[in-house]
């Protein structure tokens, strides 16, 4: 600890505020809030403090600390949120691209208000809806609204189309209309206030319906339309009544297609759940208005590798509702946010000043019941989004090419590695050990060339020896193919050049077991050295690396990945936003997924077989029939005695014994 930091620690007040951690270059790397600056900031530097890997890494880079004192915790929360948004510190959880999300704006401050898309939310007297993550969805919504409600989309200054809303017009005011309406009027997408085909009051009713529709108050929209239709019919204006009737049918068709889910209450609710990947988290939010699901959005938070669910949830609530034009009465979350009372107080103030016009805000973390079911549904959607993002990244040719070029430079390769193979070992306390090989070509998975290996020569949990067995079995085939090609080439010198069968066989073997441009071993230096021994046995010179979590971390929430390269005493650590690192992690995770799936299958089958072997009267034939038909003990336990007895080779007596024994085991 340098003298500068020590002097700051000695001068910290026992008051609420925020603190700014800076590195040697003066860059803000972390912003935090505290009830007591003295207690919170000093806790980072106590020897006995059990800091997370991320915080240990951050503290090692701190060169200076600044702090700002505020009146209370809510002010600290607001100030922290503003600083995070402005400086985007490296060690804070960040909402990715939060400035670029579009909104739908209803320009109430305009004469004859328009409805259009904007990229920022302002407190300017207009109504905003959003933010939305997909610009295409916003455009589709605007197009739908314009079909249902005929508002203007032109950019004309409409102040001269009708007298002012209040008071008498100025003496110099003169109504100025266009000579004729545009095409929008003739296709029934505008009521043409520009030529006085409608009054200001009638146009305002259309805009009010747009707002109600965007708020999810569809029943009120339909009620108003039905009243207008009946009034038009009473006035014998049957043409207008028919137009309103058609609009009612259009709204009802939209609502029929929309997926509606009713919640317990009638207040507005937002339901939020998280799904985490390597260093990013998907926050999925469902919007319920008046008890109905009216929309959903997702947001990606970066830098979440070593953050708790409560910290991630707090960061999301801060960054999302800081710019959201609507704060609901209840927010249902999967994880309880840190400093929950403070966040609720802050949201209460936001709600008072927002379009919501309410006061109290409740953050609910359900443990059972209907609300928990909603959270689980939202969480499932978050997982799907995260998987889609992973697939989207893998299919983005520019990003994958950039990642491959970055690996070429980092690992000093001759060219970007087009074929990459990754190896992983899975076991449970040394039992049912399996090896997995996954193949990526051009940065994309090539599932047809994935391979699984049941470990045969290694006893117990010995990942190093297991890696060697897998590599020997994999590259023995390559060695055989190479020898086959050498023999074929020698024979061709003296044999008939028309002998096509030998060429075809050698070509097939070489194609099936193409040499990789890069081998990744899931493990550290010991695993890498063991792999190099095998490659040397077969006289193969293939670039090989070991990929491991940062030393000292045994969980998925490690601060960094360590890349072990032959001949280098220290591991290479790529920046956490590196495309090359992202690709390495995806490949390693795919190998782990592929291996663990096979391991679980073997473990289940072995357990299944061993239990059936212990049941008196169940021999090989009956065991085979049970395994083929049911596949698991759980499935057998749910079957009736009659169903078991109906299987080929089974009797009622044998079925009763199976049910009795499995019931005793469970």
Is 70 exceeded by the pLDDT of residue 609?
no
Using alpha carbons, select from 289, 293, 382 the residue that is nearest to residue 333. 382
Cα 322-328-329 angle, rounded to 5 deg: 125
3-7, 441-445, 640-644: which range is least confident on average? 3-7
| Total count of domains within the chain | 4
In this structure, the answer to whether residues 449 and 351 fall within a common structural domain is no
Q: Give me the CATH number covering residue 22.
A: 3.40.1440.10
Look at residue 605 in the predicted model and tell me its pLDDT. 53
CA dihedral 256, 259, 260, 263 (to 10 degrees): 170
**Based on the domain organization, do 380 and 486 belong to the same domain?**
no
Non-local (6+) Cβ contacts of 456 within 8 A are 469
Q: What is the pLDDT of residues 109-168, one digit of tens each?
A: 888 999 998 887 777 888 888 777 667 777 877 887 888 888 999 989 888 888 887 777
Single out the residue in 361, 392, 423 at which a domain terminates. 392
In which element (H, E) is residue 245 found? helix 238-257
Whether residue 597 sits in one domain with residue 501: yes
- Contact between residue 617 and residue 657 where contact means Cβ atoms under 8 Å apart: yes
Q: Would the pLDDT of 21 be above 80?
A: yes
Alpha-carbon span 636 to 608, nearest angstrom: 11
| Residue 114 is assigned to a structural domain of this protein | no
588 and 619: one domain? no
Least confident of 75-79, 390-394, 561-565: 390-394
Mean pLDDT of the chain, nearest integer: 79
pLDDT at position 527 is 92
Residue predicted with more confidence, 519 or 103: 519
Which tokens in the block code for residue 160?
């001269």
Residue 153 lies in a domain: no
The sheet with strand 17-22 has its strands ordered as 28-34, 17-22, 64-69
Q: Are residues 456 and 424 in the same domain?
A: yes
Select the highest-mean-pLDDT range: 125-139, 202-216, 467-481, 557-571.
202-216
β strands within 23-102, DSSP E: 28-34, 64-69, 94-95
CA distance 458 to 451: 19
User: Can you tell me the distance from the alpha carbon of 156 to that of 16, in angstroms, rounded to the nearest whole number?
Assistant: 51
Question: Which residue did the predictor score with more confidence, 411 or 658?
Answer: 411
- Angle, helix 463-492 to helix 500-512, in steps of 10 degrees: 160
Query: What pLDDT does 589 receive?
Result: 85
Tokens of 252: 């009802």
Q: Residue range 441-455: average pLDDT?
A: 87
654 and 554 share one domain: no
Asked if 437 and 591 touch (Cβ cutoff 8 Å), the reply is yes
What pLDDT score was predicted for residue 553? 42
* DSSP per-residue codes, 386-444: HHHHHHHHHH-HHHHHHHHHHHHHHHT-SS--SEEEEEEEEEETTEEEEEEEEEEETTE
Asked if residue 567 and residue 425 are part of one domain, the reply reads: yes
pTM of the model: 0.49
Element (H, E) at 138: helix 135-148
Q: Using only C-alpha atoms, what is the Rg of the chain?
A: 33
Q: Report which of 340, 361, 346, 366 is spatially closest to residue 272, judged by C-alpha positions.
A: 366
Angle between helices 73-87 and 340-352 (to 10 degrees): 80
Is the confidence at residue 306, as pLDDT, over 70?
Answer: yes
CATH assignment of the domain containing 659: 1.10.150.20
CATH value at residue 339: 3.30.420
pLDDT at 556 over 80: no
**Which residues constitute the domain of residue 24?**
3-73
pLDDT of residue 333: 93
Instruction: Answer yes or no: is 228 within a domain.
Output: no
Q: What is the CATH number of the domain that holds 452?
A: 3.30.420.340
Q: Which 3 state secondary structure label does DSSP give 29?
A: strand
Answer yes or no: is 45 within a domain. Answer: yes
* Contact status, residue 433 vs residue 425, Cβ threshold 8 Å: yes
Strands annotated E in 27-167: 28-34, 64-69, 94-95, 103-106, 115-118, 127-129
Specify if 51 maps to a domain. yes
- Residue 112 lies inside a defined structural domain of this protein: no
> Are 532 and 463 part of one and the same domain?
yes
Rounded Cα distance between 519 and 319, Å, is 41
Residue 199 lies in a domain: no
DSSP string for 264-324: SSSS-EEEEEEEE-SSEEEEEEEEEETTEEEEEEEEEEES-TT--HHHHHHHHHHHHHTT-
Task: Give residue 528's pLDDT.
Answer: 93
Burial of 445 (0-12, 13-18, 19+ CB in 10 A): middle
On whether the CB atoms of residues 460 and 477 are closer than 8 A, the answer is no
Residue located via tokens 């950039």: 402
Residues 428, 491 within the same domain: yes
pLDDT at 454: 83
476 and 385 share one domain: no
Q: Is 560 left (phi over 0), alpha (psi -120 to 50) or beta?
A: beta
Contact 615, 627 (CB under 8 A): no
545 sits in which H/E element: strand 544-549
- Name the band, by pLDDT with cuts 50, 70 and 90, for residue 606: low
- How much is the pLDDT for 334? 92
d(CA 91, CA 80): 13
Task: Give the per-residue pLDDT at 253.
Answer: 66
Mean pLDDT of 622-646: 78
Contacts of 407 (CB under 8 A, 6+ apart): 413, 416, 417, 518, 580, 583, 584
- Non-local CB neighbours of 190 within 8 Å, separated by 6+ positions: 150, 151, 152, 153, 154, 181, 182, 184
pLDDT of 256 reads 54
| pLDDT tens digits, 164-205 | 877 777 788 888 899 999 999 998 889 999 999 998 888 999
- Within this chain, do residues 293 and 439 fall inside the same structural domain, yes or no? no
In sequence order, the β-bridge partners of residue 452 are 436
Task: Note whether 454 and 578 are same-domain residues.
Answer: yes
Residue 387 has pLDDT above 60, yes or no: yes
Instruction: Give 567 or 137, the one with higher predicted confidence.
Output: 567
Domain boundary among 73, 95, 124: 73
| Residue 261 forms part of a structural domain | no
Residue where a domain stops, chosen among 392, 419, 452: 392
């Amino acid at each position: 600890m340098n003298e500068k930091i020590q002097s700051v620690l000695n001068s910290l007040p026992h008051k609420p505020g925020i603190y700014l951690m800076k590195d040697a270059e003066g860059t803000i790397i972390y912003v935090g809030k505290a009830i007591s600056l003295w207690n919170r900031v000093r806790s980072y530097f106590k020897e006995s403090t059990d800091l997370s890997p991320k915080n240990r890494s951050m503290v090692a880079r701190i060169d200076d600390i600044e702090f700002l004192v505020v009146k209370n915790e809510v002010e600290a929360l607001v100030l922290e949120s503003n600083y995070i948004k402005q400086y985007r510190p490296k060690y804070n959880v960040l909402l990715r691209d939060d400035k670029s999300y579009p909104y739908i704006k209803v320009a109430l401050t305009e004469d004859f208000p328009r409805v259009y898309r904007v990229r920022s939310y302002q407190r300017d007297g207009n109504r905003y809806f959003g933010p939305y993550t997909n610009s295409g969805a916003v455009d589709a919504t605007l197009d739908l609204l314009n079909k249902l409600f005929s508002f203007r989309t032109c950019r004309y200054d409409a102040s001269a189309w009708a007298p002012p809303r209040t008071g008498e017009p100025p003496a110099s005011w003169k109504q100025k209309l266009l000579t004729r309406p545009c095409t929008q009027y003739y296709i029934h997408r505008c009521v043409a206030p520009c030529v006085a085909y409608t009054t200001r009051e009638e146009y305002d009713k259309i805009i009010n319906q747009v707002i109600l529709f965007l708020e999810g108050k569809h029943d009120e929209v339909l009620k108003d339309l039905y009243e207008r239709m009946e009034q038009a019919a009473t006035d014998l204006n049957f043409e207008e009544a028919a137009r309103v009737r058609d609009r009612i049918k259009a709204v009802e068709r939209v609502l029929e297609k929309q997926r509606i889910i009713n919640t317990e209450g009638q207040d507005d609710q937002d339901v939020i759940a998280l799904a985490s990947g390597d260093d990013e988290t998907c926050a999925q939010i469902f919007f319920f208005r008046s008890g109905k699901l009216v929309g959903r959005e997702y947001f990606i938070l970066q830098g979440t590798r070593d953050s708790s669910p409560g910290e991630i949830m707090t960061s999301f609530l801060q960054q999302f509702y800081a710019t959201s034009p609507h704060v609901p009465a209840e927010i249902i979350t999967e994880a309880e946010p840190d400093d929950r009372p403070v966040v609720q107080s802050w949201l209460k103030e936001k709600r008072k000043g927002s379009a919501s016009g309410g006061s109290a805000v409740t953050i609910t973390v359900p443990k059972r019941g209907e609300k928990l079911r909603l959270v689980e549904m939202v969480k499932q959607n978050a997982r799907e989004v995260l998987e889609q993002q992973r697939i989207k990244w893998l299919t983005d040719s520019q990003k994958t090419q950039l990642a491959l070029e970055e690996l070429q430079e980092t690992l000093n390769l001759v060219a970007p590695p087009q074929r990459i193979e990754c190896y992983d070992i899975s076991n449970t306390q040394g039992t049912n050990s399996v090896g997995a090989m996954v193949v990526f070509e051009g940065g994309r998975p090539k599932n047809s060339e994935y391979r699984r290996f049941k470990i045969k020569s290694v006893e117990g949990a010995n990942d190093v020896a297991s890696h060697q067995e897998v590599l020997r079995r994999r590259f023995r085939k390559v060695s055989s193919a190479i020898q086959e090609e050498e023999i074929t080439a020698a024979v061709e010198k003296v044999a008939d050049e028309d002998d096509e069968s030998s060429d075809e066989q050698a070509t097939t073997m070489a194609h099936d077991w193409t040499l990789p441009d890069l081998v990744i071993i899931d493990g550290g230096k010991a695993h890498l050295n063991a792999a190099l021994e095998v490659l040397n046995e077969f006289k193969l010179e293939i670039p090989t690396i070991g990929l491991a979590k940062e030393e000292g971390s045994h969980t998925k929430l490690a601060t960094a990945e360590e890349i072990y390269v032959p001949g280098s005493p220290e591991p290479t650590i790529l920046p956490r936003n590196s495309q090359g690192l992202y690709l390495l992690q995806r490949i390693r995770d795919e190998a782990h997924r592929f291996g663990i799936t096979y391991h679980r299958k073997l473990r289940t089958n072995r357990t299944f077989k061993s239990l059936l072997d212990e049941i008196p009267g169940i021999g090989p034939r009956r065991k085979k029939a049970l395994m083929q038909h049911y596949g698991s003990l759980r499935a057998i336990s749910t079957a009736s005695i009659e169903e078991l007895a109906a299987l080929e080779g089974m009797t009622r007596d044998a079925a009763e014994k199976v049910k009795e024994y499995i019931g005793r085991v469970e």
